[in-house]
Structure formats: C-alpha cells, structure tokens
Structure 1
Amino acid sequence: MEIRLIAADMDGTLLDDEKGIPEENLRAFRACAAQGIEIVPATGRTMRGLPDELRNLPGVHYAILTNGAQVVDLAKNEIIDSCRIPVALAEKIMMMARTSPDEIMYDVYVGGIGYTMPEFYNDVYKYVSSEGLAELVRRTRDTVPDNIAYLKERGQDAEKINMFFRDMDARKRMREELSKLPGILVSSSIPNNLEINAEGADKGGALLRLAARLGIARESTMGFGDGENDLSMIRMAGIGVAMENGHESVKEAADYITKTNNEAGVAKAICHFTGIQI
C-alpha cells in the first residue's frame, strides 16, 4: 500500500545533533508533498519549538505536539485532538519534584507553552549537556515565579510535565515513584529527562487518530523515531522506522532501521520505501 502520511520525530531523528534539518531531509519532504503525502512533525515540543523552515514546507498541515497530548491544524492554528493531565494530578507530580532531595528541573506545559522558573532558566546548563539543547529550552519556555502556583491559578489541565536530572540514580528513583501513580504515561526523549503525559497521550495514538480523521489507513502511514517517547508511533504506524542512533528498544520495535540523524536517515528511508528520487 502506498504511503500517504509520514510522521517524524524531531530531536535525534529529523534534526541533526546541531538542531538543524539536513538539506536532504528537506528535499525528501518537498518531493513527498509534490506527491500529496502528508508530512507531520511528531514531537515532545510545543508549537513554539517547530522550526519555521519545517512549518512552511508544503505538505506540513498538521503537527503532533507534546508527545501526542495535542494534534494541531497548523493553517487554522486550531487544536483538533487533545489529552491532558488534570490540574490536581499535575500539581501532585510537580510537588514530587519540588520536595525531592535530588536536584530536578521541572516544567509544566499549559496552553501550548512550557513554564519554568527563573532559577532553572538561568542555570539551565546544570541540567542539559549541549548549547543547542540549552538554547531550545530557553526559547520554548516562559518563566513565572512559581510554576506550580501558576498552574493552580490558571486552572487549566496540563499537556505535559518535563523533568531534567543531574543524577541518573535520581531519575531512576523518580521514575519508580511515578510508576505508582495511575492515569499517567512516563517516557523519555533524552538520557537525563522524564516526560509525563496523561494516559492515552502518546504519539502512536495521536498518529492513528489524525490518519483516521484524514481518511488514511494505518497501513499507509510511516513513523520515524529514536527515543522511548517514539515507541508507540513506531509500533502503530504502518511502517515504523528507527534511527541507527536510536534507543535499542526503538530499534527492536521497528520494521526498518535507517541511517543516523546526522546522515539524513529520514530521507534515506523515504527514498527506500517510496521510490522518490531526490
């Protein structure tokens, strides 16, 4: 069956390690658009984290954001599907980070924006390992004096909670504690973080709901990813493609393993499965 929708994770997948989009990937996407194939960014980021060069490509009409908590119609700037963490549960999760004896940076995503606090924003290099990631964090977060108080005051359910850890044992302890809470899904996109979504908010489910909305069969979808938060998409897509640089669990679940993110592995797999020449 022909491919009609391609969903691609961004960090570690579509983007190279410098957080740029390899030109080969862009050419492949343009060629897909010319054949009427939908290109869907599928990311843990918010709308603010989508590069303009990606949003402005022909064929990019929708985006799966915050790990599947939102599906957005980009042209209308309209949320067409959502699955959020109730305020009280989000507050409880954030308090677990705040009261922990470990050093944990924690953000909450509400209304498509990530909210952090000045002490984290100003010391982001304590929690991230690269200039590119530090810049991304700063560009995609707003600061508030107290993000838990802000969440309660706003009274709006959260799309996601993100935690960064300086110590991997602390990350392991927090994950064990979070596993005791019902109604949430815990995943990870980089080695030292945890991403908490509502149960049901995953990239795979969002992909299938969007495909159904567009009248596209599951068998005609392709999903690309490298991290744990991509697993559901890799498993549910008609063709699940893992990056060579991906987590072992993702590669084990995939139908196909392509080259690394630094080698434009997305473009290479698209050409392999569609016959597109770029």
Structure 2
Amino acid sequence: MIKLLAIDLDGTLLNKGKYISQRNIDAIQAAKQNGIEVVIATGRANFDAQNIIKDIALDPWIIGTNGATIHTPSGELFHSAPLEKSMALSMLQVFEEQQLYYEAFIDNQICAPQYGRKLLFKEMEGLIKTKPDLDIDLLRLEVEIQFGQSAFLFIPSYHVMKDTNSDIYNILAYSFDEDKLKKGWSRFVDLPDVTIVQSGVHNFHLQHTQASKGNALKRLAKELHIDVAECAAVGDNYNDMSMLEIAGLSAAMGNADQEIKDACDFVTKSNNEDGVAYFIESFLIEINKK
C-alpha cells in the first residue's frame, strides 16, 4: 500500500517549458484523495519550488536542494544538512578562479556571480559552433530558466558570503564547456564529507554526504510514521537515484538515462507526455482493485 509519493520537479513533474500539466495536477489530487502524502523532492531551493507549485492546491512537504533541506507544509525548516562553511567558501573560490558559473543556495537566496550570465551565453555560442545541429532555442530557454529561479541574486564575489550567518546548503556548477565542467568536478572528488551528483548534462552539485534525496525521504517517512516500503518515488536523473533505490515502488521517467531506468521498478512516459500522471494512475488502479 503506497502511503507517500515523492516527486522530482525538473525533467519529471515539469515539462520542457517548465510547466506542470493539468493531467499531472489532476493525478496528484487523485493521489491525495486516496490518502497518499505527496512530497516534492527537488534540487531546487524550497522557496523556488514553492513558487512553482503555488497555483496548485497541494501544500506539500518539500525536500529541497537535493535533500540538504526539508521544509514542512507551512514552510518551516524541519531539517538541514549544509556544507561546512569554510569548505564551501573555498569551493566558490575555485569556481571564480576557473571562471566556472556557480549558484550557492543559502537560506533565502540563490547567489550567482555577476559574470555568470555573460559567461554562459558565451559558452553556449561556442557549443553551437562545434555542434551546429543542436536546438539553439532550447539551449537559450535552458539558460533563461536557470536565471528565472526565485530569489536570485548576482554577487560581485563569493567574499560577500563570508560575512553572512547563512548556511550554504548546496553549490551548483553549470557550464556548456564539457572540459571545464570535468576539470571543476575533478577538483572536488576527494573532499571529505562532500558528495557530487548530477541533475543535468551541463551541471553538477556539491553537497554534504548526509544531504541526499534518499536520506531526506527516510527521515521524512520516519517523521510521518510511514515505512519506506510504503513510499513511491519518481525521477529522471542521477540526483534522484538515492530515493529511487530505497522507495518501495520506484519509477524512472521515459526521458531518463538507461542506467536510471534499469534501477527502477517501473518506467513511465516522458515529462512531455505526463509521465508522472501515467505512473500515479497506474498504481492507483492497483490500489483501487484491492
């Protein structure tokens, strides 16, 4: 019996235009009507996720920043696993030295370098020159969506975060330059208490080893007195794997890599084909048969 459903946002609940379809909304409401606790589990910050779902009558728990935070339905911070502050600042220093775009997720803002917008568009143009068959409009939309997140703040340098009391929950590195991205990744692979995960082709996240969607799901299930075997989860990328692996019922989106599909119990349709709704409808049919 499914009692909790954890849903990723980007590439899962959101379509390519970053919208939630009416069919997905209807399926989520049907899950709630069947007594299922619906949880959002995303790499986005809590406040950004809240902005995306504000027009849906949902009020869910939100596992944010890849599991580094858990917020209650009322928006209060229930749990967090931030990066160690001095280590996080040294990471940001490396990114600035390498001219690698980053986003630092703190309490109420996403901090990004002032050079970021110009840099990403320059890298995008370079990528298009080497791969002219790429969909230019889709790449431009990708960048615009990146900068369209809630509470976005461009900063002159990471130094401004030294004087704040805010925790740094997650650092996202983003680049259209594959070599630069790999070089950035290689700088942090051996750091203690740090995990690196991907949520897309052009990025990676740095977070505390205790910060994962899987750990957050286990913590939340325990708080709600639900066994993880009674949890379902659906996602599309490698930052979803930890929750997909522990959930009693797991679904990979049709747009997921084969490795993710192979790790799941069920492969649903893509995010542009209402894959979340298709998954929910499938297991609700089984529930209602009993």
2:115 aligns to what? 119
Q: 1:211 to 1:58 in 2, by over 3 A?
A: farther
- Tell me, which stretches of 5 or more residues in structure 1 are unaligned? none
Contact preservation (8 Å) 1:108, 1:158: yes
Q: 1:206 to 1:127 in 2, by over 3 A?
A: farther
Say whether residues 1:110 and 2:110 are aligned partners.
no
SS at match of 2:148: helix
2:84 aligns to what? 86
Read off the aligned partner of 2:179 and give its amino acid letter. Answer: D
1:143 aligns to what? 154
Contact preservation (8 Å) 2:120, 2:143: no
Match of 2:190 among 180, 190, 194: 180
Read off the aligned partner of 2:82 and give its amino acid letter. Answer: R
Identity of aligned residues (%): 29
SS at match of 1:195: strand
Read off the aligned partner of 2:101 and give its amino acid letter. Answer: M
Stretch of structure 1 that moved more, 47-56 or 153-162: 47-56
- Per the TM alignment, residue 60 of structure 1 is displaced from its structure 2 partner at its CA by 3.4
- Per the TM alignment, residue 218 of structure 1 is displaced from its structure 2 partner at its CA by 0.6
Read off the aligned partner of 2:21 and give its amino acid letter. Answer: P
- Per the TM alignment, residue 151 of structure 1 is displaced from its structure 2 partner at its CA by 1.8
1:209 aligns to what? 219
Stretch of structure 1 that moved more, 173-182 or 212-221: 173-182
Matches within 5 A, 1:240-259: 240-259=250-269
SS at match of 1:216: coil
- Per the TM alignment, residue 133 of structure 1 is displaced from its structure 2 partner at its CA by 4.4
Q: 1:92 to 1:38 in 2, by over 3 A?
A: same
Stretch of structure 1 that moved more, 116-125 or 219-228: 116-125
- Tell me, which stretches of 5 or more residues in structure 2 are unaligned? 125-138
Partners of 2:93 and 2:123 in 1: CA distance: 19
Contact preservation (8 Å) 1:85, 1:157: yes
Partners of 2:148 and 2:193 in 1: CA distance: 29
Contact preservation (8 Å) 1:227, 1:246: yes
- Per the TM alignment, residue 188 of structure 1 is displaced from its structure 2 partner at its CA by 1.0
1:17 aligns to what? 16
Partners of 2:101 and 2:51 in 1: CA distance: 28
Match of 2:249 among 230, 235, 239: 239
Q: 1:81 to 1:51 in 2, by over 3 A?
A: closer
Contact preservation (8 Å) 2:120, 2:176: no
- Per the TM alignment, residue 115 of structure 1 is displaced from its structure 2 partner at its CA by 0.5
Read off the aligned partner of 1:116 and give its amino acid letter. Answer: A
Q: Deviations over 1:111-170 (max 9, x none)?
A: 142101222145553467232542342333212222x11221114331100111131122
2:132 aligns to what? none
2:31 aligns to what? 32
Q: 1:114 to 1:153 in 2, by over 3 A?
A: same
Runs of 4+ in 1 over 3 A off after TM superposition: 55-60, 121-128
Q: 1:84 to 1:32 in 2, by over 3 A?
A: same
Partners of 1:58 and 1:217 in 2: CA distance: 26
Q: Deviations over 1:170-193 (max 9, x none)?
A: 222222221121111111111011
Contact preservation (8 Å) 1:104, 1:164: yes
Read off the aligned partner of 1:162 and give its amino acid letter. Answer: L
Q: Deviations over 1:188-220 (max 9, x none)?
A: 111011111111100011011101100111111
- Per the TM alignment, residue 248 of structure 1 is displaced from its structure 2 partner at its CA by 2.5
